[in-house]
Structure 1
Amino acid sequence: MNQPSEKLSDRERSAGLRGSGDRPAESSSIEIGTPGDQIFSMSEIDPVLDAKMRLVNETMDEIGWTNMHLKLFFLNGFGYAADSLILALQAVTASQAALEFSPSFPYALNVSVYTGMLIGVLFWGLGADVIGRRFAFNVSLFSSSIFAIVAGASPNWIALAVFVGLAAFFAGGNLVLDTTVFLEFLPSKKQWLITLMACWWGLAYVIVAAFCWPIFSNPKYTCADAETCTKENNMGWRYVWYGNGALVLVCSILRVTVMRLKETPKYHLTKGNDAAVVETFQSIANKYNRPCSLTVEKLESLGVINSTYGNARYGFGEFWAHIRGLFVTKQLAISTLMIWLSWILIGLAYPLFYVFLPDYLATRGAQTGESGPYYQWRNYMLSSIAGVFGPVAAGFMCNHKVLGRKYTMAIGALITMAFFFAYTAVRTPAENVGLSCAISFSLNIYYGTLYAYTPESLPSAHRATGNGIAVAGNRVMGLVSSFVAAYGNTSTSVPIYVCATLYILMAIVAVLLPFEPYGKRAM
């Protein structure tokens, strides 16, 4: 294992190699208001990498918040929105498309979109750690928009499923890429914005509702039954795909024109490219007239890091190196497994509830809504708007010293469980709307914080891989819910108690997570 060079100055030794809470005040001129420790230390595994990472984090704090970060919040948010947009488009257009194509397996689009998301998040997650964040960031959103537009022109059910799956494949990686890219440029005081960024996820549902409400409320664009349904009298679902695909296309163009994204400095650092790290920071500092004391000499004087590459640069060895990197310490291994478990639990609980809930309520005589598409899409719009504010509340909560990320997630999970139980007693349209909005709000408190906690608590060299596997577990559970809906008995009360147990487990796991990122710097 490489050791720090003997050239270290006193300042660099104290800034890079001391343990948490042991860094003297003079090691950095930046005051962030909270301890400047990293979320976890790699000093026992690779002391040079740990030292360099601390120096890079200090440089990010030295430069501070700039207009570049504001642009990233919006440009990365587009990708976040695209991920949920494709999921929502599939959900709201599948029934109308099924009337036109009369498929033998009506849940094929659900399977297709989750399969595409599953493969996409693994492919782009690993790819971001192997070839870098920049290429995937620039390519994925544009490609997704093209297939979303083409999906609207599908001539049959099979073609639609293929194009939906491809759109999902390219969109699916954004949930990993956008948090990773944003986090790896953020000063430590602003890391809570990763939680707030999840509001873009909810905003996508508002956008879909805004398209669907006027289109599906007009009988001119929707057919009522399979016997009379043709392409000519059922263009509504196609217009929804065209319009939203075009919107994603515009967003993808903005991502490569508003700002020419540079590769993240932490990616360069973990690949041993010290010169590129300094060049990136100096470029930002010069453009926004900010101080930047980092030099190549300072980084190189700390020594040479252990390689984060595998034996085969683009083979299985590289993949295994990134997996192994998530388990290099006992604490990190426990954290990684618990994060993955959290994504699996929410991935099963959320869709499963909505799969069986309509049948369960119908067997008990509930009248949950006024008839007609106008009221259906009005309610969808209201619950979607409520969902946008969940991450906003989570952003404030997780940045509070008492709550932090862990207790914010626990509170979100328990409140959501309570509202889910309350929903089983719904009997009127007003109760339906009110509780739907409450669930959408509270669930996104949990989801928004989990979105942020995941990349924050993973090591930079393997961040996208670990995040990708976490979200992949979520997608697998989405696939499971599709087959439950197709072949399971969804009218019993058993799934209610299963979901309740899952949300309790989520809260317990959140509290027991070994790392609390509040006031700490991401590795």
Structure 2
Amino acid sequence: MATMAEADKKIVTQHDPDVERDMAMTDETVSIDKGDILQLESLDRNLNAKMHLVNNAIDEIGFTRYQWKLFVLNGFGYAVDSLILLIQSIIAGQAALEFNPSYKNGLTIAAYVGMLTGAFFWGMSADVIGRKFAFNVSLLLCSIFAIVAGSSPNWIVLGLFVCLSSFGGGGNLVLDTAVFLEYLPSKKQWMLTLMAAWWGIGQLIAGFLAWGFLPNYSCDDPSVVEGAAPCTYENNKGWRYVWFAAGALVFVMSILRITVIRLKETPKFLVGEGKDAECVETLQAIATKYNRPCSLTLEKLQACGTIERMAQREGKAKWSPSHITVHLKGLFATRRIAISTSLIWLSWTLIGLAYPLYNVFLPSYLGSRGAEFGESSQYIKWRNYTLVNFSGIWGPVLAGWMCQLPFLGRKYTMVVGALVTCIFFFAYTQVRTQTQNVAFTCVVNFCLNIYYGTLYAYTPEVLPSAHRGTGNGLAVSANRVMGILSAVIATVADTSTPVPIYICAALYVVMAGVAAIFPFEPYGKRSS
């Protein structure tokens, strides 16, 4: 016998089909009631309405094994970025002994130039031609050039291949967050912060490779070891083995991306391109494969109307200046979006300068103050390096938990991470022994990644979907420009003065202040 409540439900739904649809939702999809972060910001109401329906569908489907695959294989893209960046710094010294370059910081500049151009190019292409192509190709290019780098006959060629490998790896980083986010149900958006733990895993892999190859297959530095033989190809193959092993690992993972994930174009990109039918097909295919409900239909999307920018660009080539300009203008579509974009780019610029400079100046400064943390044993040196990198994995894990707390959210997780990092940066200047050096480096790496990991996740969350790749790419590009600048400063500046150390630490206070005034808080809302 039907209850009174059921009778009431039948009466209501006879007059309102939308209410009938919403009542059909299961308890697992209550997040459908959440607001979209930018729902009141876009000038295109039709696009807003479509994005809202797509978010509803993703929440309705929920978290499946498909997202787990993305978490692992997209996360490896995070790892590759840090892996390539660290490997070039790890092997630079040994390669320099063999090639005797006139500019020893050349590899660092080459890596950052590659990552700068990669972030800009692949970020822009992700908005113009789609996430799928850039996602599949960028990591494959990175792996090929990383393997070839191990065969370099001289310093200039090595720098070229480091640059080309970084071009693929640095661009891939921009896509990993965008692709993962655009398939995530809102209840799991915190996992975007957690995914930054893969950055530390990449550092850890670099440490293991260095620990495994460099102590046993490297020549001695003649300036340190009296009577050491000159470094040649025959007695200094360790750094080459590191590149071969890293490139092979990245190659395997790039193939797994294509064969295991079989990525479909993201629904939000398809909607932004006016491809409503393909969007519905993609979401329905996932729902069918994992036996989940999905009530989104082509008719519902088309009822929202035509996206304005589709009409504006009709008849124009995808790579036309006007089409590219649309993506740049979209990052400043309203006052709040413009402020948000500017502050995000400022944050990436500040941390891009502060952290590399700190690493450059600290060893010389500590040496001038009498710190003794040199280690003659290559085995112990790379063991300690691995410990430090291992500690960096857990910062984003803690950040993933913190950003779910209502009183912190994403913004104040970054504030806490930046301020705690600043405190330990200042304290680090008092280090005097090897043990203190390792301990403080581990703590700083852990705390820094609370801020860094959250910033990585926050950036794509608050950017408009149609312009997410461009905005994210330019943010990371600003970070890479500062990395290049830090290498130049390290070459020409006095590294024994304490002033740069205090400036770098103070920059983290500025970063905390910037995070506090971000206009959007993603906690409890859905990315647009």
TM-score by length of 2: 0.93
SS at match of 2:369: coil
Which of these residues, 64, 74, 77, is aligned with residue 75 of structure 2? 77
Deviation at 1:198, TM superposition (A): 0.5
SS at match of 1:221: coil
Which of these residues, 514, 518, 524, is aligned with residue 519 of structure 1? 524
CA distance in 2, matches of 1:443, 1:167: 26
Q: 2:54 aligns to what?
A: 56
SS at match of 1:173: helix
Could you tell me whether the CA contact under 8 Å between 1:455 and 1:463 is conserved in 2?
A: yes
Structure 1 window deviating more from structure 2 (57-66 vs 316-325): it is 316-325
Could you tell me whether the CA contact under 8 Å between 1:61 and 1:187 is conserved in 2?
A: yes
CA distance in 1, matches of 2:375, 2:319: 56
Aligned 1:21-100 pairs, distance under 5 A? 31-32=29-30, 36-42=34-40, 45-100=43-98
CA distance in 2, matches of 1:501, 1:51: 43
Cα deviation 1:34-55 (Å, max 9, x = unaligned): 9601112256611111111111
SS at match of 2:261: coil
Q: Structure 1 residues 426, 490: closer, same or farther in 2, change over 3 A?
A: same
Deviation at 1:211, TM superposition (A): 1.1
Runs of 4+ in 1 over 6 A off after TM superposition: none
Deviation at 1:307, TM superposition (A): 1.7
Cα deviation 1:392-417 (Å, max 9, x = unaligned): 00000011111100000010000111
CA distance in 2, matches of 1:289, 1:235: 52
Could you tell me whether the CA contact under 8 Å between 2:396 and 2:449 is conserved in 1?
A: yes
CA distance in 2, matches of 1:363, 1:34: 59
Q: Structure 1 residues 267, 389: closer, same or farther in 2, change over 3 A?
A: same
SS at match of 1:65: coil
TM-score by length of 1: 0.94
Deviation at 1:376, TM superposition (A): 1.3
Could you tell me whether the CA contact under 8 Å between 1:272 and 1:307 is conserved in 2?
A: no
Could you tell me whether the CA contact under 8 Å between 2:182 and 2:266 is conserved in 1?
A: yes
> 1:509 aligned to 2:514?
yes
Q: Structure 1 residues 32, 379: closer, same or farther in 2, change over 3 A?
A: farther
Could you tell me whether the CA contact under 8 Å between 1:365 and 1:427 is conserved in 2?
A: yes
> 1:485 aligned to 2:510?
no
Which of these residues, 399, 418, 442, is aligned with residue 394 of structure 1? 399
CA distance in 2, matches of 1:173, 1:379: 30
Could you tell me whether the CA contact under 8 Å between 1:34 and 1:519 is conserved in 2?
A: no
> 1:225 aligned to 2:222?
yes
Cα deviation 1:296-333 (Å, max 9, x = unaligned): 01111111111267554212212211000011111000
Q: 1:346 aligns to what?
A: 351
> 1:329 aligned to 2:327?
no
Q: Which amino acid aligns with 1:306?
A: E
CA distance in 1, matches of 2:287, 2:501: 54
Q: Which amino acid aligns with 1:191?
A: Q
Which of these residues, 390, 402, 410, is aligned with residue 385 of structure 1? 390
Q: 1:283 aligns to what?
A: 285
Deviation at 1:223, TM superposition (A): 3.4
CA distance in 1, matches of 2:67, 2:447: 28
Deviation at 1:378, TM superposition (A): 1.4
Q: 1:457 aligns to what?
A: 462
Could you tell me whether the CA contact under 8 Å between 2:129 and 2:318 is conserved in 1?
A: no
Q: Which amino acid aligns with 1:88?
A: L
Could you tell me whether the CA contact under 8 Å between 2:32 and 2:60 is conserved in 1?
A: no
Cα deviation 1:354-381 (Å, max 9, x = unaligned): 1111111111111124332122111111
Deviation at 1:259, TM superposition (A): 2.0
Structure 1 window deviating more from structure 2 (30-39 vs 88-97): it is 30-39
Q: 2:409 aligns to what?
A: 404
Which of these residues, 423, 443, 446, is aligned with residue 448 of structure 2? 443
SS at match of 1:239: helix
SS at match of 2:309: coil
Q: 1:18 aligns to what?
A: none
Q: Structure 1 residues 179, 412: closer, same or farther in 2, change over 3 A?
A: same
SS at match of 1:418: helix
Cα deviation 1:6-52 (Å, max 9, x = unaligned): xxx9666x99xxxxxxxx97596564469601112256611111111
Question: How many corresponding residue pairs?
Answer: 505
Structure 1 window deviating more from structure 2 (43-52 vs 276-285): it is 43-52
CA distance in 2, matches of 1:296, 1:261: 21
CA distance in 2, matches of 1:106, 1:151: 17
Which of these residues, 160, 177, 180, is aligned with residue 179 of structure 1? 177
Structure 1 window deviating more from structure 2 (53-62 vs 306-315): it is 306-315
Q: Structure 1 residues 114, 27: closer, same or farther in 2, change over 3 A?
A: farther
> 1:203 aligned to 2:208?
no
CA distance in 2, matches of 1:77, 1:106: 32
Q: Structure 1 residues 494, 44: closer, same or farther in 2, change over 3 A?
A: closer
Could you tell me whether the CA contact under 8 Å between 1:223 and 1:233 is conserved in 2?
A: no
Could you tell me whether the CA contact under 8 Å between 2:42 and 2:333 is conserved in 1?
A: no
Q: Identify unmatched segments of 5+ residues in structure 1.
A: 1-8, 16-23
> 1:434 aligned to 2:464?
no
Cα deviation 1:209-237 (Å, max 9, x = unaligned): 1111132222x433323861100000000
Q: Which amino acid aligns with 1:281?
A: L
